[in-house]
Amino acid sequence: MNFEMVMQELEALGKERTKKIYVSNGAHEPLFGVATGEMKPIAKKIKNNQPLAEQLYSSGNYDAMYFAGVIADPKAMTEADFERWIDAAYFYMLSDYVVAVTLSETDIAQEVADKWIASGEELKMSAGWSCYCWLLGNRPDREFSESKLANMLEILRNTIHDSPKRTKSAMNNFIYTVGVSYLPLHSEAVETAKAVGPVEIKRDKTKSKFLLASDDIQKAVDKQRLGFKRKHVRC
């Protein structure tokens, strides 16, 4: 399948209701409004195709950019490629669920994520913290430095409330993911969650939302999900 064929198939799958949901979350035109599950049959036909993924991502169409992440070949991507992708990610569903997810399947994931976390830019920081969440929820504990993650929890404890909105959300998810998926620091993550307390996410037209990682970790404990790892990161 080539670029035009994929765009035609995506357009045919678009629904106005889904489009409105994406727009309410920050997407803008051009987009079709394709539910991510609907993309799977096309992805099965294509499998990994980096040149096609690059064409789709550079189109600026949200659905095409999302699908680019589904068919990308992460191992074929360089740090410069990921910098290009994160620069074009204009809202969190791209930064955290396309770029961060794709990055998490590479050998340079932690190195790039560390740079993004230190960047001071909202969506880069959000993608960096999110990438660690995808990594921790998939890879064996032995692939991580316990002292490094402990230091990240400490930094987070002191900075989360002053961070930008999307970064806050990703940082809160990091506390939860360490608490559930990285057993060596479960207790430290619980302590951090309690110290941080409710994290306020301000919203434009509705009331603020409050995130509480300590409650979410406890729910996972109650459901006996400690040590949870997913087999695959990408759909």
Q: Is the pLDDT score of 235 beyond 90?
A: no
188 assigned to some structural domain: yes
230 assigned to some structural domain: yes
The owner of tokens 């189109």 is: 59
89 assigned to some structural domain: no
Chain segment 79-107, per-residue pLDDT in tens: 999 999 999 999 999 999 999 999 999 99
Report d(CA 134, CA 102) in Å as an integer: 10
160 assigned to some structural domain: yes
Q: Is the pLDDT score of 205 beyond 80?
A: no
Q: Is the pLDDT score of 233 beyond 90?
A: no
pLDDT of the residue at 232: 85
77 assigned to some structural domain: no
Rounded to the nearest angstrom, the gap between the alpha carbon of residue 70 and the centroid of all alpha carbons in its chain is 13
For residue 17, list its beta bridge partners.
Answer: none
The structure tokens listed for 152 are 């990240």
223 assigned to some structural domain: yes
pLDDT of the residue at 219: 97
Domain residues for the domain of 231 are 109-235
Chain segment 20-65, per-residue pLDDT in tens: 999 999 999 999 999 999 999 999 999 999 999 999 999 999 999 9
What type of residue is 113? A
Quote the number of domains for the chain: 1
10 and 34 Cβ atoms separated by less than 8 Å: yes
Average pLDDT over residues 171-197: 98
pLDDT of the residue at 179: 98
Q: How would you classify residue 202: left for phi > 0, otherwise alpha for psi between -120 and 50, otherwise beta?
A: beta
200 assigned to some structural domain: yes
202 and 168 Cβ atoms separated by less than 8 Å: no
DSSP state of 212: -
61 assigned to some structural domain: no
Average pLDDT over residues 105-123: 97
